[in-house]
Amino acid sequence: MITPILAGCQSTGGKQPAPAALEDATCPDGMQDQVQIAGSAVPLEIPEELARGSEATEHRNQFARRVIVSVAPKSIAVGARVFSSTLTMTTVGGVFAGWGALDRGQEHVNALDIIPGRLRIQPFLDSKSLQAQTMSVDVLVKPGSTPFDELAITTTPLWNGEHHPVRPEELQLTFAPVRHMTVFDVVDARLTLTVTAATSRRVSSGLWRCSFESRLELIDRASVLPDLWGLRKTGFRGSESEWLALNDPTTGPFRAVFTNPEAARGFTDWLRATHAARIGQYSLGLFRPEAPDSNTPPAVNRAVAAPFHDITQQELEVLDVKRLGE
């Protein structure tokens, strides 16, 4: 849960206030801390209708979240007569992917409007008087970073029946492109609830319009990290880390990536046992990948920030299995 942040506001009158009166209403100072709004987000599976068929590819690298929003008025605001209410959610670090769903049954009384950077529910409050309530909305979120293809490695057995390492010239490698995001960061959202209401029977003297705000984390950093693993030599004394790479004589070096830490660890053990300098057409070494250029197709970009160089036995001994992005 997120500690709510209260903000900005907007009072006038009429028993049945005219539209102009509603727009001109302001927020009295005493009302600013009388309504709390809070939000939290929990992971969901991608909806089945979006996860199958032709749409499955379209929604890759998107995250489904259930956002739970609660409103809690305090003493002065409780029971205020509500004329309008709008909940707005804006994102930082990502965008909405164009799909959303309200609590079952709420879609008949609330309008849901989604564009990439904003979600809006109107009206949000489901009673004529200001009372505590909770509502949830399901959304798809796309982190705002560049996609990139890594080549995940699969090997034939590394050890023979006698538990001896297979000779490097006998080992076969296969590669499969796996796309992930190049910026592993959070996606935050700001909730804004704007309410026009009256706390007095004489609407002309008790009409007010206030906005209350809160923030929440839609996607945490751990959720964005890809389930991909490499072998890294950690830099010392200010030098940057380098990764184990395979150098293809025709296309250049690329990072050695595995789909689970056990496979990466097993490959390291095999390298240390065989002292292999190459596998088939690929020579082994270290390099530091460069951040992909957004103008270059992900699968084509193989630029490196540090030149590829052969790995020494001393460097091989200090390789660690690391998750990409950690």
What's the pLDDT tens digit per position in 32-77? 889 999 999 999 988 777 767 655 566 667 889 999 999 999 988 9
| 137-195: pLDDT as tens digits | 999 998 876 667 889 999 999 999 999 999 999 999 999 988 776 655 688 999 999 99
The arrangement of strands across the sheet holding 118-122 comes to 111-115, 118-122, 81-92, 187-198, 207-219
Query: Which helix (DSSP H) or strand (DSSP E) does residue 28 occupy?
Result: none
CB burial of residue 123 (10 Å; 0-12, 13-18, 19+): middle
Lowest mean pLDDT among 89-103, 134-148, 299-313: 299-313
Cα dihedral: 289, 294, 299, 305 (round 10): -20
Interacting residues of 14 by C-beta distance below 8 A, sequence separation 6+? 21, 203, 204, 207
**Burial code of 46-58, b = ≥16 C-beta within 10 A, e = fewer?**
beeebeeeeeeee
Cα distance between residue 129 and residue 77, in whole Å = 9
Domains of the chain listed by start with CATH number: 19-144+185-223 (2.60.40), 147-182+227-323 (no CATH)
Dmax over Cα atoms in the chain, in whole Å? 91
CA–CA gap between residue 183 and residue 21 (Å, rounded): 47
Evaluate whether 289 touches 243 at the Cβ level (below 8 Å).
yes
Model pLDDT for residues 202-220, shown as the tens digit of each residue: 655 678 999 999 999 998 8
3-state secondary structure of 170: helix
- Encode pLDDT of 211-264 as tens digits: 999 999 998 888 877 789 999 998 665 556 899 999 998 888 999 999 999 999
Give the helix ranges, DSSP H, for the chain. 19-24, 48-51, 55-58, 203-206, 221-224, 261-274, 313-317
Most confidently modeled of 16-30, 115-129, 132-146?
Answer: 115-129
What does the block give as tokens for 25? 């209403």
Q: How many CB atoms lie within 10 A of CB 132?
A: 12
Distance CA 226, CA 309 (A): 26
- Token readout for 41 is 């987000």
Q: How much is the pTM?
A: 0.66
